Structure 1
Amino acid sequence: MKTKYLLVFICIVALVIIEKESSIISRVSDKIIQSRAPPLDPHSPLDNSNTTQNGPLSMLKSSRGRKHVLLLARTRTGSSFVGEIFNHHGENMFYLYEPLWHVELLLSSAKKYYNDTLLGRLYRDVLWGLFLCDFNPLEKFITPPPEEHVTAALFRREMSLSLCEDHVCSPFDKEVYEPYRCRTRLCGPLNLTLASESCLSKQYHAVKTLRVRTLEPLQPLVEDPRLDVRLIQLVRDPRAVLASRIAAFDDYKVWKAWGLDGQVPEKEVKKLKINCDQIKMSAEVGLSHPQWLRKRYMLVRYEDIALYPMQKAEDMYRFAGIPFSPQARDWILRNTAQEEGDEYSTGKNSSEHAEKWRFSMPFTLVQVVQRVCEPYMKMFGYRIVDDEKTLINQSISLLENRQFQ
């Protein structure tokens, strides 16, 4: 009997502890969302007092006719190259490169308070503000905090042509050094008020991000009547992704040694599987065409873009409702038939680059990827290879002909 009562007591204590912990996490989450995220609700007006003096009605009117593209990808899937296709549309495009990097960086030290659902909501709300040309939600995550809406710390500011235009680029002060300067000029710290004004003057907006893991949290953003958001999800052969990460990141170089030894830690294999499963599940949501995503979701394989860059660029522009500009066409012509650059270059011989991994990756690693990512590979049309001879035989395509729309 004593044992029975003891077990009951332990269960009660455990339930109290769990309830208390859940309450604490809920309060912390609510506080962060209230203080950091914009109070956006698709069914009510947005208070844009920080971005426009004319009120929410003028914001709603000025948003009409605008097109918004959200490029969703993962590391080393060719997203920088695809982002540049939109970045080089011309003077009517406002493009941002990885703004959610700041959110992930700031929250990385508080992971125990967050789950994927909460992170998805935070990412969404920052994107929501940016598509409405409101940088205030993003400012809350930039470190060090901007002073009077001016920052020298915006991640990869130089990757956005619109943030380096004449009316946004302030004179360069050598005493206030900016680590990431613009490509063609020296600019001082970024004035986010000027950036907001530039954004409001553009008809087309595009954001590239690697941080969004699932599509569901984006539903209120996509359904906002003030916006016309199109989602483009980019996928790539997971074998090529791993090979590219090994070449680009020091943290991944040990994978090559594991491949040669035939021993890959199970912990790393599990991470690889989670990554493949997440991408597959997101694509399943998009390709199932729920009402909120109809005509607003497009799946693109990097390999198809590499093989047919002009055709696929036209397809993406057409899907987004944006005219395919001569500037974008010229950039593609200049950057898809070059000699290979470094691992971070967006200019390369795209068709050769798509197959390069087949000659650099140990076959043992190929087998590991195929084992844990087989459902992903079958869904997106990446062929499994059974031996190294087939792997390096370029006359055998590893890409099945697929149409995803």
Structure 2
Amino acid sequence: MRFKYSIPVVFVLALVIIEKENKIISRVSDKLALKQPQLSLPPDSALQILLKPNQNASLTFHPRTSAPVFTLMKRRLENYNNTRQSPPKASTKHKHILLLATTRTGSSFAGEFFNQQGDNMFYLFEPLWHVEKMLTLEGGGTNATASARAYRDVLRRLFQCDFSLLESFIEPPPVDHVTANLFRRWSSSSLCAESVCSPFVQGDFEKFHCKTRKCGALNLTLASQSCLRKEHRAIKSVRVRQLETLRPLAEDPRLDVKFIQLVRDPRAVLASRMVAFEKYKNWKEWATQGKVPLDDDEVRKLRGNCDNIRTSAQIGLKRPKWLRGRYMLVRYEDIARFPMRKAAEMYAFAGIPFTPRVKAWIARNTQVSQAEASGVYSLQRNSSEHVEKWRFSLPFKVAQVVQKVCRPTLKLFGYKVVNSEKMLTDRSISLIEDKVFNSL
């Protein structure tokens, strides 16, 4: 009889004990949550690296919110860090192409080779523009270490069709994943496709609106869905300084990244930048005066740019194990002279079919009049005339300075040095050596 009633009693006592333990655990958890800091940043995060040297900087205020710019940047980068710590689990075997270049090297034109591919390609034009803008320091320039990590993290996510990390850098912040401020949206046919074209709302202003159809602000959720349906993804960027910083992308088993580095004669790049950018006014003055101060910061920047490009190319051409089969060097001059051939080589390297649509676009846009190809940002090229046009606008004295500070770069890429003004402007003398870069 005692045994008969003892079982229910033991069962009730067990329930009481369990309930008390649950309450104790709950109280302890609440206390721990209160004591835990809001954000735990790893020492190598972009936020820690960016903020460390500027903790005593004077505050400036955002014109729209009246909040300190430093505070806004910190808040946005905290969001970036939180997002970056929860990588997506998706695993894909799509083709990923990263076109690396610097400004005024013809990268927009070369990028169209992939933008025009058709329904199987998702192409993005300079998404890292937002990252660079957010990480630009008050005195200009960026923290190289912080920006390199942020660029890599954002690229990794974009290749997986995840826009959440990029959203951390778009200003003003997207609302419900919708933004009217994505840089050069119209340069990506993928972002102006019907499947990504949300209804247009009268009165809404999108700075970089689609030119092919009237769309509302960009819904990044729709963009992500469209990207996931595409077989291949390509991104064009002029903001990555060193190829070595992208090694984790090459070694990520979720990606199949091919790196195409586009280079151009540094003398031609400078001549083009002097026309396109106001900040090159010093060079314009020196060109008029015929004398360039070699100890000027602008000349040192030119040397640094040449060194970065050359170092990246040297790493790629050495074909280390992590880059084997993943790196291709292309000169803009070769694209301009042999566009169909070079495009076919780029597609073969990427492992993607070279479609009739791309061939038709190249044929249309490389056989145009001088007037049609004259715009600063034109995507049309007269191949026979455009490639060395710079030789007749850049003064010999300026060309000499570029040759002095960029000589190793000129030599590596096969650009001939000129030793007189006559040689510079002599059309019968080509400054482009025949050179093979990508033999196995």
**Residue type at the aligned position of 1:25:** K
Structure 1 residues 173 and 234: CA distance shift in structure 2, 3 A:
same
List per-residue Cα deviations over 1:191-219 (Å, max 9, x = no partner).
00000000000001000001100112211
Match of 2:52 among 11, 25, 28: 25
Instruction: Note if contact 2:336-2:381 (Cα within 8 Å) is conserved in structure 1.
Output: no
Report deviation, 1:128: 0.5
Report deviation, 1:222: 1.2
Partner-residue secondary structure (3-state), 1:68 = strand
Match of 1:72 among 75, 78, 100: 100
Q: Which has the larger radius of gyration?
A: 2
Percent pairwise identity: 56
Report deviation, 1:239: 0.5
Instruction: Identify the residue that residue 192 of structure 2 maps to in structure 1.
Output: 164
Matched, 1:345 2:378: yes
Instruction: Identify the residue that residue 6 of structure 1 maps to in structure 2.
Output: none
Instruction: Note if contact 1:37-1:122 (Cα within 8 Å) is conserved in structure 2.
Output: no
Partner-residue secondary structure (3-state), 2:400 = helix
**Residue type at the aligned position of 1:324:** F
Partner-residue secondary structure (3-state), 1:137 = helix
Structure 1 residues 157 and 360: CA distance shift in structure 2, 3 A:
same
List per-residue Cα deviations over 1:254-281 (Å, max 9, x = no partner).
4232123123242211111011011001
Structure 1 residues 177 and 115: CA distance shift in structure 2, 3 A:
closer
Instruction: Identify the residue that residue 36 of structure 1 maps to in structure 2.
Output: 80
Structure 1 residues 250 and 164: CA distance shift in structure 2, 3 A:
same
Match of 1:138 among 141, 155, 166: 166
Counterpart Cα distance in 2 of 1:234 and 1:302: 6
Instruction: Note if contact 2:50-2:146 (Cα within 8 Å) is conserved in structure 1.
Output: no
Tell me: higher relative CO, structure 1 or 2? Use CA pairs within 8 A at least 6 residues apart: 1
TM-score scaled to structure 1, two decimals? 0.86
Structure 1 range deviating more: 252-261 or 104-113: 104-113
Instruction: Note if contact 1:96-1:206 (Cα within 8 Å) is conserved in structure 2.
Output: yes
Instruction: Identify the residue that residue 244 of structure 2 maps to in structure 1.
Output: 216
Counterpart Cα distance in 2 of 1:23 and 1:347: 40
Instruction: Identify the residue that residue 357 of structure 1 maps to in structure 2.
Output: 390
**Residue type at the aligned position of 2:368:** Q
Instruction: Note if contact 1:280-1:376 (Cα within 8 Å) is conserved in structure 2.
Output: yes
Report deviation, 1:111: 7.2
Counterpart Cα distance in 1 of 2:87 and 2:304: 39
Structure 1 range deviating more: 183-192 or 249-258: 249-258
Counterpart Cα distance in 2 of 1:32 and 1:112: 19
Counterpart Cα distance in 1 of 2:105 and 2:411: 18
Aligned pair count reads 369
Matched, 1:288 2:332: no
Counterpart Cα distance in 2 of 1:287 and 1:152: 41
What are structure 1's unaligned runs of at least 5 residues? 1-20, 49-55
Report deviation, 1:115: 3.4
Counterpart Cα distance in 2 of 1:143 and 1:23: 18
Counterpart Cα distance in 1 of 2:87 and 2:396: 56
Instruction: Note if contact 1:85-1:328 (Cα within 8 Å) is conserved in structure 2.
Output: yes
Counterpart Cα distance in 2 of 1:388 and 1:318: 40
Instruction: Identify the residue that residue 53 of structure 1 maps to in structure 2.
Output: none
Structure 1 residues 199 and 22: CA distance shift in structure 2, 3 A:
closer
Report deviation, 1:24: 6.8
Counterpart Cα distance in 2 of 1:341 and 1:22: 43
Match of 2:420 among 383, 387, 393: 387
Instruction: Note if contact 1:117-1:217 (Cα within 8 Å) is conserved in structure 2.
Output: no
Matched, 1:321 2:351: yes
Report deviation, 1:164: 0.5
List per-residue Cα deviations over 1:119-173 (Å, max 9, x = no partner).
1111000000000000001000000000000000000000000000111011222
Structure 1 residues 166 and 239: CA distance shift in structure 2, 3 A:
same
List per-residue Cα deviations over 1:233-290 (Å, max 9, x = no partner).
0000001001111111122244232123123242211111011011001111111111
Matched, 1:94 2:122: yes
TM-score scaled to structure 2, two decimals? 0.80
Instruction: Identify the residue that residue 400 of structure 2 maps to in structure 1.
Output: 367
Structure 1 residues 396 and 156: CA distance shift in structure 2, 3 A:
same
**Residue type at the aligned position of 1:212:** V
Counterpart Cα distance in 2 of 1:121 and 1:370: 32
